[in-house]
Chains A and B, each alone.
Chain A
């Protein structure tokens, strides 16, 4: 990154931090903080962490004078958050966190990735509130400023949980460890939940098999681990009977039947297979290690994401359906800035679409910040 670009970004970030109201997390005094600054070798990542603040004023003064490119605090609560090693900090508990990042799900244009991950977030929120029963008031949704959303759950009853308890939750939302025989056997199945999700994924899959050329279908089935041609053929013959059972009496699907007992688990094991893709569509694909990590740093809501210049934006559950990050998380203005773009690109921001040629373009400040932060443009003229 050129010095002029670095200077431009630093100035824009300074303006933001001087003027905007900054949010601080509850129990500020028990959080560890970490920052990445606009050092001369930025965006080379060097984090300064193990920092503690005694109160709101101290933190805000620090942020306003240091103007970080990225600001993070610990999801954990510590006795001595500023201590230099994790052991000395004395862990007291941690918020429950889910991280949804489009990177793990879909590649493509930025707005598309954002739209996709929003759906994923909505699925997660409905599992959290309607299935697990979390109070919507204890859940906060935050646009990460990058390619996704963070969910913070500050429910006192889960604060002391270790990785094991948190793993139950993340495995549940992602559908990890699902056992077909067990979920089909639920006695009083609810219209939500994995019983239903499994049945509808499997039904869809069987319908697809049914619509395929029989030879093709058998070939697909016999690519499964431990499934030979004979078993595949047997299973194919049973497809309609199985669909019927799934519809009317799923508890009667017989796993002692060699074919069923072999193929249904194998379908689930084939992580790159067509069935698994259907099942994943019904899961909420949050990033597993983030939830099980009880000492994670997470972006500070209301700070700026140095990789996009977008605001790490908290969103109320009710506002979430209408939230559009490319409008609602944009904080900079329309002043035109000469920007040298490294490739031809199209991009939407605040409802306007911009088509940029490679080379110098006049673009609104907000877009200039975004492109420079992403590392795909440099400041061309004077700032």
Chain B
């Protein structure tokens, strides 16, 4: 497929290999680049990208200036995309990476929907989707949608035949957005040498600051009233002394850990289980909360459904794909309106 891309396109779609080739001359050594004036400006834009990704509006105003549209500005813009990836890689936090890739995909999508057809086809093709067909190969489809929450994307609700899945033309744009997100997420974290992360330390500190503030706003103190019905049901079963399955224990432990409940508090809850065994429980709780090296995230709604743990769905459940999102939203709604 042949399409002529111009400078504007590099800014819109900085992940394309053409965009990366365009700034190739700068990328020889990040180390040198970030110490030049151009590099410093690009780094500021990069920080802006990460802030945008975190939805930090307040501080955004300060550096709302954007790079110019000339060759120099375009280089800065594309470099800021690359540097933002370096920043989150130094931080090496999965959810920060997710936020950035979601943001980048959404940003590209906002340009893509108004793009002329041949250019759109080219961008889609470059991430592996042929939007001219009314269906896409089964394997690609599954890989693209497994992170999407809406029921309409579920394979079971699709026409699936002979290894192809039907997709309407209007849905294609959304699939391309998701595919961009999947690809970008797969590329991160980059292996960034320690000394480069050292050089970026001041910027990284700012990222941490914004991020922490965000986390505190989202979770903060534990509010049991805001727990989703599935988690409440398991807790109820636990407190009434009913034995619960391993999957149930895992779900509730990971959930409580994710919203910031202290391990001892979690173990206390388990005291009420009929087969309570302190050492076993401590091991399980500590394991799930990351002692063994992996910190587990509580299962999504889809996983809860698969394990038969999704019960007593309410209206808010329809709007979320994850018990943690339910908690966040309910908590936010529960807050008294600012006066």
- CB neighbors of B among A287-314 (8 A): 288-289, 292
Interface segment among B118-126, B140-148, B329-337: the answer is B140-148
In the complex, residue of chain A having the shortest beta-carbon distance to the beta carbon of B162: A133
Given A87-B293, A168-B155, A188-B166: 20 more A-B contacts, CB < 8 Å: A130-B162, A131-B162, A132-B160, A133-B162, A158-B139, A163-B303, A168-B142, A168-B145, A168-B154, A169-B142, A171-B156, A171-B305, A176-B306, A182-B151, A187-B168, A190-B159, A193-B159, A194-B157, A289-B307, A292-B303
Q: Which of B143, B163, B164 is in CB contact (< 8 Å) with A161?
A: B143
- List chain B residues, Cβ under 8 A from A182: 151-152, 157
- List chain A residues, Cβ under 8 A from B138: 132-133
Total number of B residues with any Cβ neighbor in A under 8 Å: 33
Q: Does B27 lie at the interface of the complex (its beta carbon under 8 Å from any beta carbon of A)?
A: no
Q: Does A118 lie at the interface of the complex (its beta carbon under 8 Å from any beta carbon of B)?
A: no
B154 to chain A, nearest CB (A): 5
* Interface SS of chain B: mixed
- List chain B residues, Cβ under 8 A from A168: 142, 145-146, 154-155
Q: Which of A169, A190, A192, A195 is in CB contact (< 8 Å) with B155?
A: A169
Q: Which of A86, A131, A179 is in CB contact (< 8 Å) with B151?
A: A179
Q: Does B198 lie at the interface of the complex (its beta carbon under 8 Å from any beta carbon of A)?
A: no
Cross-chain contact A177 with B305 (CB below 8 angstroms)? yes
If the complex has contacts A178-B157, A179-B151, are A167 and B307 also in contact, measured as CB distance less than 8 A? Answer: no
Q: Does B7 lie at the interface of the complex (its beta carbon under 8 Å from any beta carbon of A)?
A: no
Total number of A residues with any Cβ neighbor in B under 8 Å: 40
- List chain B residues, Cβ under 8 A from A134: 163
In the complex, residue of chain B having the shortest beta-carbon distance to the beta carbon of A135: B163
CA distance A183 to B155 in the complex (A): 10
Q: Which of B137, B155, B164, B293 is in CB contact (< 8 Å) with A172?
A: B155
4 cross-chain pairs, A with B, having the tightest CB-CB distances, nearest first = A133-B163, A164-B146, A182-B157, A190-B161
Q: Which of A85, A87, A172, A192 is in CB contact (< 8 Å) with B161?
A: A192
Please, what's the 1-or-0 string for A267-297, where 1 marks a CB less than 8 Å from any CB in chain B? Answer: 0000000000000000000001100100000
If the complex has contacts A85-B292, A158-B139, A170-B306, are A175 and B166 also in contact, measured as CB distance less than 8 A? Answer: no
Q: Does B222 lie at the interface of the complex (its beta carbon under 8 Å from any beta carbon of A)?
A: no
In the complex, residue of chain A having the shortest beta-carbon distance to the beta carbon of B140: A157
Cross-chain contact A165 with B162 (CB below 8 angstroms)? no
Q: Does B183 lie at the interface of the complex (its beta carbon under 8 Å from any beta carbon of A)?
A: no
Q: Does A56 lie at the interface of the complex (its beta carbon under 8 Å from any beta carbon of B)?
A: no
- List chain A residues, Cβ under 8 A from B247: 289
Q: Does A208 lie at the interface of the complex (its beta carbon under 8 Å from any beta carbon of B)?
A: no
CA distance A177 to B152 in the complex (A): 10
- List chain B residues, Cβ under 8 A from A162: 146
- List chain B residues, Cβ under 8 A from A87: 292-294
Cross-chain contact A189 with B156 (CB below 8 angstroms)? no
B263 to chain A, nearest CB (A): 20
- CB neighbors of B among A82-103 (8 A): 85-87
Q: Which of A86, A164, A177, A289 is in CB contact (< 8 Å) with B147?
A: A164
- Contacts across chains A and B counted by CB atoms under 8 Å: 101
A334 to chain B, nearest CB (A): 43
Please, what's the 1-or-0 string for A38-67, where 1 marks a CB less than 8 Å from any CB in chain B? Answer: 000000000000000000000000000000
Q: Which of B138, B152, B247, B307 has the most CB of A within 10 A?
A: B138
A88 to chain B, nearest CB (A): 9
Q: Does B302 lie at the interface of the complex (its beta carbon under 8 Å from any beta carbon of A)?
A: yes
Cross-chain contact B156 with A178 (CB below 8 angstroms)? yes
Q: Which of A158, A167, A169, A187 is in CB contact (< 8 Å) with B302?
A: A167
CA distance A321 to B137 in the complex (A): 29
- List chain B residues, Cβ under 8 A from A176: 156, 305-306
Q: Does A186 lie at the interface of the complex (its beta carbon under 8 Å from any beta carbon of B)?
A: yes
- CB neighbors of A among B164-195 (8 A): 164, 166, 168
- For this complex, 9 residue pairs linking A to B, each with C-beta atoms less than 8 Å apart, are A132-B160, A133-B164, A158-B139, A171-B156, A176-B305, A187-B166, A193-B161, A288-B307, A289-B306
Cross-chain contact A177 with B139 (CB below 8 angstroms)? no
- List chain B residues, Cβ under 8 A from A161: 142-143
Q: Which of B143, B160, B162, B303 has the most CB of A within 10 A?
A: B160
B291 to chain A, nearest CB (A): 11
If the complex has contacts A165-B143, A171-B306, A289-B307, are A186 and B166 also in contact, measured as CB distance less than 8 A? Answer: yes
- List chain A residues, Cβ under 8 A from B156: 171-172, 175-178, 183, 194
A154 to chain B, nearest CB (A): 14
B119 to chain A, nearest CB (A): 27
Q: Which of A134, A176, A177, A190 has the most CB of B within 10 A?
A: A177
